[in-house]
């Protein structure tokens, strides 16, 4: 899988640009705050349907304009695609793939697969559980539309349940039949989510362990840590456990158990990485997990995803940079950097200099 071109109109600080990429390494460089990351963000949006950093689509529209328009030409082993997206100030979004309207996010995510790697991802091991859940969800959602649908339905039901819990605590209630209705829906969707997450973690553990061993010779182990202690992973066992927690959740006015509290348990040489791992070990593990994320997508789809590396080379030492450069050499990658000397260049590398929202193609 690779991208051949990206066109931007009124997107962030870009008025009108078209970029034609190499199917291999593309270096997007320039000073800070010039718009390098905006290019990666535009590609990412076509994969995930939303920005990895903006809270709303309004932030993506160039200041003073009413809309933003993006288009992307990409290809896999079977066919060619043209994706078009228009973002409106009123919040409306129009997306088409090969001139066919896309109305559901789960449909969009099945086309273009990407892996975004930014400096924040180096905190994957020692950061919050929500970062690790996002890592799981962004991987699985790209490949399994039903997973994303279950995830959306689960969080809708969770929102309703939390609203009800606040009302019940204010009333001094001890239980409620409607709470059982929401628990039943959460159990049904939770069963599906747990199955997908369990399968993902088994594979990502194998891929990550092999990569970590290649980089440092250390033993990395990643295991799934469910956000509840139900007697089983089936919906009846999950429902029973949720019901047992009704009283406590009413008292606290929020859901205390469920897949929204899932996490990953990560160890290095048998010790918990988050607590006992050095910064170097934690960064190596995060790097292993992100490379493994690309391997996971390739394992399922037989296509490597597009790699989006946002100023990551400056955060890695020479050994990790060399390893990452070797792993990505035959794949399409878009790399942003302020220093091109940190990036290995080949005959297939394209260089793009960014200055004040303008893109200049430079000779390698």
Residue-level pLDDT at 340: 86
* Length of the chain (residues): 364
Residue 153's pLDDT band (boundaries 50, 70, 90)? very high
Percent of the chain with pLDDT over 70: 100
Contact indicator for 11, 40 with CB cutoff of 8 Å? no
Domain ranges of the chain: 1-113+304-364, 126-302
Q: What is the pLDDT of residues 40-65, one digit of tens each?
A: 999 999 999 889 888 899 999 999 99
Q: What is the pLDDT of residues 185-241, one digit of tens each?
A: 999 999 999 999 999 999 999 999 999 999 999 999 999 999 999 888 999 999 999
Residue-level pLDDT at 345: 82
Residue 120's pLDDT band (boundaries 50, 70, 90)? confident
Residue-level pLDDT at 132: 97
Residue-level pLDDT at 110: 84
Q: What CATH code is assigned to 126-302?
A: 1.20.1050.90
Percent of the chain with pLDDT over 90: 82
Contact indicator for 223, 139 with CB cutoff of 8 Å? no
For residues 361 and 314, what is the distance between their CA atoms, to the nearest angstrom?
22
Instruction: Encode 81-148 in three state secondary structure.
Output: EEEEEEEECCCCEEEEECCEECCCHHHHCCCCCEEEECHHHHHCCCCCHHHHHHHHHHHHHHHCHHHH
Q: What is the DSSP letter of 325?
A: H
| CATH level 3 topology of 1-113+304-364 | Rossmann fold (3.40.50)
Q: What is the mean pLDDT of residues 176-192?
A: 96
26 or 344, which is more confident: 26
| pLDDT greater than 80 at residue 129 | yes
Residue-level pLDDT at 174: 83
104 or 17, which is more confident: 17
Residue-level pLDDT at 175: 82
Residue 246's pLDDT band (boundaries 50, 70, 90)? very high
Residue-level pLDDT at 104: 85
| pLDDT greater than 90 at residue 119 | no
| pLDDT greater than 90 at residue 275 | yes
Residue 347's pLDDT band (boundaries 50, 70, 90)? confident
Contact indicator for 43, 6 with CB cutoff of 8 Å? yes
Nearest-10 crossing angle of helices 318-328, 177-216: 100
Q: What is the pLDDT of residues 252-271, one digit of tens each?
A: 999 999 999 999 999 999 99
């Amino acid at each position: 899988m690779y991208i051949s071109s990206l066109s931007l109109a009124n997107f962030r600080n870009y008025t009108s640009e078209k970029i034609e990429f190499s199917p291999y390494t593309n270096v997007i460089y320039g000073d800070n705050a010039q718009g390098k990351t905006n290019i990666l963000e535009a590609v990412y949006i076509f994969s995930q349907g939303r920005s990895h950093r903006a809270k709303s689509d309004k932030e993506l529209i160039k200041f003073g304009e009413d809309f933003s328009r993006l288009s992307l030409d990409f290809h896999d082993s079977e066919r060619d695609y043209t994706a078009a997206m228009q973002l409106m100030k009123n919040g409306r979004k129009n997306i088409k793939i090969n001139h066919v309207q896309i109305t559901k996010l789960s449909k969009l995510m099945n086309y273009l697969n990407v892996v975004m790697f930014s400096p924040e991802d180096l905190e994957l091991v020692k950061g919050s559980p929500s970062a690790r859940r996002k890592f799981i969800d962004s991987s699985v959602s790209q490949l399994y539309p039903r997973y994303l649908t279950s995830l959306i339905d689960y969080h809708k039901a969770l929102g309703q349940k939390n609203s009800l819990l606040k009302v019940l605590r204010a009333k001094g209630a001890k239980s409620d039949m409607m709470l059982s209705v929401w628990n039943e829906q959460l159990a049904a969707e939770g069963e599906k989510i747990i199955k997908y997450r369990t399968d993902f973690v088994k594979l990502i553990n194998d891929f990550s362990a092999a990569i970590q061993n290649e980089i440092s010779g250390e033993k990395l182990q990643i295991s799934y840590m469910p956000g509840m202690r139900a007697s089983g992973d089936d919906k009846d066992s999950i429902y029973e456990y949720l019901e047992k927690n009704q009283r406590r959740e009413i008292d606290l006015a929020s859901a205390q158990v469920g897949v929204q509290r899932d996490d990953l348990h990560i160890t290095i040489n048998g010790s918990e990485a988050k607590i006992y791992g050095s910064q170097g070990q934690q960064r190596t593990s995060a790097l292993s997990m992100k490379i493994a994320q690309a391997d996971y997508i390739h394992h399922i789809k037989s296509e490597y995803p597009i790699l989006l590396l946002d100023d990551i080379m400056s955060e890695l030492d020479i050994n990790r940079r060399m390893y990452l450069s070797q792993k990505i050499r035959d794949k399409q990658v878009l790399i942003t950097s302020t220093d091109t000397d940190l990036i290995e260049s080949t005959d297939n590398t394209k260089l793009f200099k960014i200055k004040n929202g303008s893109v200049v193609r430079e000779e390698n």
